[in-house]
Amino acid sequence: MSGALDSSGTQADTIALRAAPEVSKPGRGHAEFPCEFGGYRLVGLLGRGGMGAVYEAEQVATDRRVALKMLGQQLDSPDMRQRFLREGRLAAGVNHPNSLYVFGSEEIEGIPLITMEIAGSGTLKDKLKKRGPLPATEAVDAILDAVAGLEAAFEGGVLHRDIKPSNCFVSPDGSVKIGDFGLSVSTLAKDDSLVTATGVIVGTPAYASPEQLRGDELDVRADIYSVGATLFTLLTNRAPFEGDNAVQVVANAVNKKPRPLAELREEVPPGLDRIIARCLAKEPEARYADYATLR
């Protein structure tokens, strides 16, 4: 609880009840960009997350631009390495135009890393920061791309469990790809102790379904909830549930209904408002049963 109540946190962060420390510099020793790192040339930092940092890089042998996700030094334990490499294996099993392609995983200078496609135009969260709420047709097109990627992942036996604007990546052609499978879980495994261990990771409260926040068993309708929450944000530039800290956001998401979309943006078509409301239903049975129906 103390970690979730830390005033430095925000409602958009993934909650880890053991606070994630600052990720070290690339290669745990390099200080400036560009710098050489194994068979790569690191160009710059793309972002940080609960598991580590992501860098833009060039593969020296091929000149291919890639994103390198590195496990944070302070998180480097046998369990965390297993979780990190597991993310790479799950993501590598998803091959679809609307999912960031994962080339593989390896270790360089003792650091576990995942090599993946670089989207090139930031995320939907970046787009919101630059432009504010998106036109309804553009928001719907973005969500349809995300749905296609999530559907492919689910057909491969993977629930994403952390869909939000910052995990939807924009390609130069404007299409959207899902990425960052850090909280993903295989629907084919009977047990996944790394993910379901009590108090380790519960997701992003502003976008996670009530059953996920309660730690209940999940199915595809949990990701459909997050899709609705993401679409709500694309249209309003705010999350469906807010609060002064993460614990308040969790409480609101579990107990309260979101504000009607029409109160925040009058020109949104009523039918779209109804679709989002159904995605955000508290009980999974009241949501869309699958991606085909939602589409």
- Render pLDDT for 81-126 as a digit per residue (tens, 0 to 9): 777 777 677 777 788 999 988 887 888 888 888 888 888 788 999 9
pLDDT in tens, 38-79: 899 999 988 776 667 888 999 999 999 998 888 877 666 777
Cβ neighbours of 266 (radius 10 Å): 7
The ranges of the chain with pLDDT < 50 are 1-11, 14-25, 27, 29-30, 183-201
Spatial contact of 241 and 249, defined as CB atoms under 8 Å apart: yes
pLDDT score of 192 = 37
> What are the respective helix, strand and coil percentages of the chain, to the nearest 5?
40, 20, 40
Predicted TM-score (pTM) above 0.85: no
Q: Return the SS3 of 177.
A: strand
CATH class of 8-116: alpha beta
Write down the pLDDT at residue 3. 44
Which pLDDT does position 162 carry in this prediction?
Answer: 84
User: Would you state the structure tokens that stand for residue 160, as one six-digit string?
Assistant: 């994403």
Residue ranges per domain, the chain?
8-116, 124-294
What is the structure's pLDDT at 4? 44
Give me the pLDDT at residue 137, please.
96
Could you check whether 8-116 and 124-294 share the same CATH topology? no
Could you give the maximum distance between any two Cα atoms of the chain, in Å? 55
CA angle 123, 215, 295 (to 5 degrees): 45
**What pLDDT is attached to residue 194?**
34
Query: What pLDDT is recorded for position 112?
Result: 86
Q: What is the pLDDT of residue 116?
A: 86
pLDDT for 221 equals 96
Residue 68 β-bridge partners = 55, 115
For 124-294, CATH number out of 3.40.50.2000, 1.10.510.10, 3.40.50.620, 3.90.226.30 equals 1.10.510.10
Query: What's the pLDDT at 76?
Result: 65
Just list the catalytic residues. 162
